[in-house]
Amino acid sequence: MTPLIDAPASDRIAFDDFMKVDIRVGRILKAEPFPEARKPAYKLTIDFGPTVGVKKSSAQITRHYTLDELDGRLVAAVVNFPPRQIGPIMSEVLTLGFPDADGEVVLVGVDRDAVVGGRLF
């Protein structure tokens, strides 16, 4: 995927279209190396609370984050995309981030303690 740095704004959508994308806050329970990935990445196990549950994700965030600093961190993710096979793991959610100046991923941050499983609005 090419980072969308300086890309033009997308076409307008209806609010109902936005609501189709289920973005939730989750807490990283475990971050592990993912040496089988084509590009440097981590395997994340994220708790989204009792409604969504615990899900796995692959995230190309090795440039800015160590495994230790990811444990317990709150992240935002799309939880209603179909699962996607990434090497030997099934990535069940899309962990969200923005590109830095070099196109490397910077995680979307939650700056206060939010309820795990809470939906973005």
Backbone angles phi, psi at 62, to 5 degrees: -70, -20
Q: What is the pTM of this model?
A: 0.92
> Do residues 49 and 29 touch, judged by C-beta distance below 8 A?
no
Mean pLDDT across 96-112: 94
Per the domain annotation, does 117 fall within a domain? no
Whether residue 111 is predicted with pLDDT greater than 80 in this model: the reply is yes
Q: How does pLDDT run across 28-64, given as a tens digit for each residue? A: 999 999 999 999 999 999 999 999 999 999 999 999 9
**SS3 label, residue 71:** coil
Per the domain annotation, does 1 fall within a domain? no
Per the domain annotation, does 10 fall within a domain? no
Tell me, what CATH number does 87's domain have? 2.40.50.140
Whether residue 69 is predicted with pLDDT greater than 60 in this model: the reply is yes
Per the domain annotation, does 112 fall within a domain? no
Per the domain annotation, does 81 fall within a domain? yes
Per the domain annotation, does 19 fall within a domain? yes
